[in-house]
Amino acid sequence: FLNVMEGVREAEKGKVIFISSGGAIYGEASEYPTTENYRPIPLSPYAVAKEVAEKYLHYYKHQFGIDYTVLRYANVYGPRQIPHGEAGVVAIFMDRLISGKPCTINHFDDEPRGMLRDYCFVGDVARANLAALSSGNLEACNIATSNPTHTLDLFNAVYRALKEARPETDRSLGNPDTGAARLGDIKQSCLVVDKAREVLGWEPQVDINEGIKKTLQWRLNK
């Protein structure tokens, strides 16, 4: 990140669009849904790195006049997302179901449906980045839908879409395994997007069910 900032400084032109993480940087927020004014409480090394990078942006603006816009993504999903490592759960669910493998819902003891997350379709996210090229200077904007979904409900939507596209899909796959929440997991995350509407002229257009169908179509045709 600092190499990028130094490159911009040496070029003496350009604006930085920084991709932060509203799904991580706010931590287990007491304000829910969460606005950009909420003080970050990062609970993982990834989230800490995002907050530190945002502070560096303030520094480079103050010292060198470099403009920037911060986009705090919710949980992004869509075509071309790989199902490996720390990839998004939509890609993981699709890959396992298509391969005939069972899925696992990780959850806290008091919520068997899993975590609440704000899933935003990649096409909507791409439009937010284009909007930030010419607006939102020196602002941080949440990029999300403000409509949270439990992991189990997300799984059911993916399974239904696959069953519709491939009726021969094994019905037993519709009953996922369960597992404990992992270190650094946040119970719930949902972001307010009013500022993005006002500052960027942006708002989400694709709901979760439509987005899952678009993603599945790509996955089956690739």
Query: Which residues are designated catalytic?
Result: 46
Query: Measured between alpha carbons, how far is 213 from 216 in angstroms, rounded to an integer?
Result: 5
- Tokens (6 digits) for 186: 């946040």
Which of 96, 70, 101, 102 lies closest to 84, judged by CA? Answer: 96
> 204 preceded by cis ω (within 30°)?
no
Which helix (H) or strand (E) segment is 72 a member of?
strand 67-73
- Using the 8-state DSSP alphabet, how is residue 196 labeled? H
SS3 37: coil
Q: What is the largest CA-CA distance in the chain?
A: 61
- Tell me the one-letter amino acid at 111: E
